[in-house]
Amino acid sequence: MFLRQIAVSGILAVAAAASALVPRQNVNPGPVSGDTFIHDPTVVKTPGGTYIAAYTGDNVQLKTSTDRTRWQNAGAAFPNGAPWTTQYTKGAKNLWAPDLSYHNGQYYMYYSASSFGSSRSAIFLATSPSGASGSWTDRGMVIESFENTGWNAIDPNLIVDAQGKWWLSLGSFWSGIKMIALNPSTGKRADNQLISIAARPDAGGAVEAPYITRNGNYYYLWVSFDRCCQGAASTYRIMVGRSTSVTGPYVDKSGRQMTQGGGTQMMASHDSIHGPGHCAVFTDNDGDVLVYHYYNNAGTAQIGINRIRYDNGWPVIF
């Protein structure tokens, strides 16, 4: 009996060790409070240790936090409007999917101008010394797409690779996720090359919201599969793949390339968490942090925050 117990304990220990290597799915968001409504979030930690979030809304909306938990509204990035974008938004003030980062002593924000269901879109760049409402200076258009382009210039994300080169990933539906090289001195496009890094040719093209991070020897491409923006009926889910090169090819845990529909699922709808997606990742004192939106049972978009660890070179949300 004693030997049998030892054997069973050994089997359980091996099983537990094996399960620890499998990315956990459907972890509940960490605690947040205050003004928790958000959509398509991005977060940057300031040199002073506080946090700024930007998200989809009229003239790009901002929030701030001192502790990464309690958030408060902080106005619009462009409180006087952004008339240079209205040819893409059909006159609307709503600007989409900003991407915040801090380089060269200033904040960079790439953001999208489009209208729902259209690929007549553009990505713009703005910079700010403080990140505060009204402090942003538009630096012009970075890239645009047209109705016949076959790809969509929204959902930008800046990644600086291990060699210091700047890249912008972007894309939503159509032929999938693209990447362009940027000139670090201007933040604008460096050449005319357009690199494909993810697509879902067998799923109606339902991939968007790329975000690339680096940990150790790997770059990780985070994306959202399926459908956003339907409240509690949204089917968004967070997927990831990895590559040793920033330009790919990115593959999932099974080895399937993301250009062929691959992706390892990291979080999907569960319990009262509906359609988690459009994630961003930033590094804090306690490691990498995942921020995303999800819908509650009432259909209201909420900020979700979790930490990330890495097992065998794959991210695990906890």
Q: What are the pLDDT digits (tens) for 141-169? A: 999 999 999 999 999 999 999 999 999 99
Q: How do residues 54-68 score in pLDDT, each as one tens digit?
A: 999 999 999 999 999
The pLDDT assigned to 218 comes to: 98
Residue 288 has pLDDT above 80, yes or no: yes
Q: How do residues 99-121 score in pLDDT, each as one tens digit?
A: 999 999 999 999 999 999 999 99
**In-domain check, residue 8:** no
Between 295 and 21, where is the model more confident? 295
**In-domain check, residue 11:** no
Residue 263 has pLDDT above 60, yes or no: yes
Distance, CA of 310 to CA of 205 (rounded, Å): 29
Other C-beta atoms lying within 10 Å of the C-beta of residue 176: 25
Average of pLDDT values for 81-88?
Answer: 98
Under the banding of pLDDT at 50, 70 and 90, the label for residue 25 is low
CA distances from 145 to 174, 190, 235 (A): 11, 17, 26
Under the banding of pLDDT at 50, 70 and 90, the label for residue 26 is confident
**In-domain check, residue 98:** yes
Q: Write down the catalytic residue from 99, 208, 226, 288.
A: 208
**In-domain check, residue 261:** yes
Distance, CA of 9 to CA of 100 (rounded, Å): 48
The pLDDT assigned to 51 comes to: 98
CA distances from 56 to 19, 81, 195, 218, 250 (A): 37, 14, 26, 29, 27
Residue 19 has pLDDT above 70, yes or no: no
- Residue owning tokens 């091996």: 14
Q: Is 147 a catalytic residue?
A: no
**In-domain check, residue 236:** yes
**In-domain check, residue 237:** yes
pLDDT, the chain, mean? 93
Q: Write down the catalytic residue from 40, 99, 155, 288.
A: 40
Between 22 and 183, where is the model more confident? 183
What is the number of structural domains in the chain? 1
Q: How do residues 227-243 score in pLDDT, each as one tens digit?
A: 999 999 999 999 999 99
- Residue owning tokens 């690199």: 195
Give, for 20, the enclosing helix (H) or strand (E): helix 2-20
The pLDDT assigned to 301 comes to: 98
Between 17 and 36, where is the model more confident? 36
The pLDDT assigned to 296 comes to: 98
pTM check: above 0.85: yes
**In sequence order, what are the residues at sequence separation of 6 or more whose Cβ sits closer than 8 angstroms to the Cβ of residue 68?**
51, 284, 289, 305
Residue 224 has pLDDT above 70, yes or no: yes
The pLDDT assigned to 14 comes to: 35
Residue 2 has pLDDT above 50, yes or no: no
Residue 88 has pLDDT above 60, yes or no: yes
Q: Write the DSSP string, 113-147.
A: E--TT---EEEEEEEESS--TT--EEEEEEEEE-T
Q: Which residue in 241, 237, 225, 249 sits closest to 274, CA to CA?
A: 237
Q: Can you give the CATH number for the domain in which 51 is found?
A: 2.115.10.20
Residue 39, domain extent: 34-317
Q: Is 208 a catalytic residue?
A: yes
The pLDDT assigned to 13 comes to: 39
The percentage of the chain sitting over the pLDDT mark of 90, rounded to a whole number, equals 92
Task: Pull the structure tokens for residue 47.
Answer: 């040199």
**In-domain check, residue 62:** yes
**In-domain check, residue 3:** no
Residue 178 has pLDDT above 80, yes or no: yes
* Residue 216 Ramachandran class (φ > 0 left, ψ -120 to 50 alpha, else beta): left
